[in-house]
Amino acid sequence: MTEFGSTPEQSPDPATGPVEPAAPLGAAVPASPAIPSPTPPSPGLPSQVIVYPLPGEAGVTAPTPGDPDATPVADLLADPEVAPGSVAELSAFGPNSPRRGRSRLNLPAMIVVAAVIGLLAGLLGGFGGYKLAQRSTSNTLGTISLPQVTAGSSSRASDTIAGIAKAVLPSVVSIQVSNPNESATGSGFVIRSDGYILTNNHVAAPAAQPGGTMTVQFQNGVTKPGTIVGVDPSYDLAVVKVDLTGLSVATLGNSDGVQVGDTAVAIGSPLGLAGTVTSGIISALNRPVTAGDSATGASSAFIDAIQTDAAINPGNSGGPLVNGSGQVIGVNSAIASLGASAQGSQSGSIGLGFAIPINQAKRVAEQLIATGHSTHPVIGVSLDLGFSGSGARIAAVTPGGPAAKAGLGVGSIITAVDGKVIADATELIVAIRSHVPGDTLTFTVSGSGSSTQVKVVLSASS
């Protein structure tokens, strides 16, 4: 049993498969790891998916340009110089050639001379023609021009993927964190020009440990130390700050207006590759997702997530998910996976990524900046995580809490919130945490063979 709104241990979800905790941030990864090619799943893999939070990923050193000391390739089309040659003048005595005395015409000798002259002329002509043809071919190769379109303008319309990337990239950062036990890379984006950056709690967490450090790198290559302003593990959100002003700020959208099928663009540093842009669509809304702590196995973050098929991988955590207008609609936080890779590490994107809705993230960020902590809504009950029926069964009620005031008791089973069916305890927690303290929700409660409608006013818990 777990106090609602606290950190319950996650039970298996029969609909989606077991929810496993995040792989530890900064698991031993070489400085420049090879990125394996995707491997098709083997027959017999379970159909369930495992939802992982996106851990930071040790940076991958991008390939460097070619060695500047490399020897240039020789010019294989160099035009060989034609060796100069001369043709000897051959003269014959004509019938009117002056001569002294009387001579006889030596026909065999003249025939031989003529044959030699003809042979030499043929050889010289053929060689000259060959060299001329060779020179002509070489000159022609040197002046060949294949058709090619011009580069044209580099500008793109603002609603194209290229236009969106150009507008948003300056506000996206890469975050490197480390402590004596681990190091990792995540993402974030600027929410105030005076240095405030929003990211995931699981990205910032290693820097909060003894000896922890954080470095924030901007798209122009500038790096600055980062400090943690505040964190909220319940929503997997954190605000960090750098000592800079005049920063490019991401435009925050409204996640309430998102629809399935909308354009989605994810920007961040997957596998340490900063400034990576991927695109897709919004593939589902209100997807209950839990992100866990690999050290304890306990789930801590409950997200009423936006689902996208834009490629999201470890290192994308904390980066923005933006719409077709370049407005941030979510904070990338988790992915679903078929399981671990052959190397024993978490596998990459299979087209199921999850983001925290920006409306929820905005409220938490504002509270963290203002006070260093944030609140989340609770109803004052503990839930029976071993309950296998449909709905969420109440195991204990906090005296004087919202549930007690509404008349809910031990054994009551909540089957719907505001008309939306609740399958289990996790879905109830996610549904409540998608609201804010002070909201009034209508619970459908079953018990003793009947169901009733109960209104509950949410209270705040920090």
Known catalytic residue: 236? yes
Q: Which of 171, 202, 304, 333 is catalytic?
A: 202
Known catalytic residue: 349? no
CA distance readout (Å), 304 to 48, 285, 317, 361: 20, 8, 16, 11
Q: Which two tokens stand for residue 251?
A: 């435009």
Q: Which of 13, 236, 309, 384 is catalytic?
A: 236
Alpha carbons 268 and 320: distance in angstroms, whole number = 7
In the numeric block, the tokens 């010019």 are attached to 75
Known catalytic residue: 317? yes
In the numeric block, the tokens 């939070």 are attached to 53
Alpha carbons 94 and 108: distance in angstroms, whole number = 16
Phi, psi of 125 (to 5 degrees): -65, -45
List the beta bridge partners of residue 446.
413, 451
Q: Which of 174, 299, 317, 382 is catalytic?
A: 317
Alpha carbons 245 and 265: distance in angstroms, whole number = 27
Q: Which two tokens stand for residue 289?
A: 């997702």
In the numeric block, the tokens 């669509």 are attached to 281
b/e code 190-216 from CB counts within 10 Å (16+ = b): bbeeebbbbbbbbbbbbbeeeebebbb
Q: Which two tokens stand for residue 383?
A: 């839930």
Strands 50-53 and 2-3 turn out to be unpaired
Phi, psi of 162 (to 5 degrees): -65, -40
Q: Which two tokens stand for residue 390?
A: 């449909």
Catalytic annotation, residues: 202, 236, 317
